[in-house]
Amino acid sequence: GNNITTVSWPACGEMDIMELLGQEPQTVHATVHFATPGGPRNISKSITKTGGTFSDVFHVYSLVWEEDRMRFYVDDQLINDISRSNITP
């Protein structure tokens, strides 16, 4: 967020539309990072390929961001659906 210099991370928020970790080349994560009064939190879901890795072929990663909801997709398959109520402390 634009307020990272005043509130720091993760209070400023972060959305990972697609996160591929080197040690898990067959798994893609879709994550929202945020802060609550109890400390940092994240909501993450992933999809894992059976056979091969995500770098083997082209994929489409997308986020549909609505006023009260974010939906994360890989190749038109929903992998994470987060509503405002999920992140409200």
Distance (Å) of CA 73 to CA 31, 41, 58:
12, 21, 14
Q: Is 24 a catalytic residue?
A: no
List 14, 24, 66, 67, catalytic entry:
14
Q: Is 66 a catalytic residue?
A: no
Positions annotated as catalytic residues are 14, 19
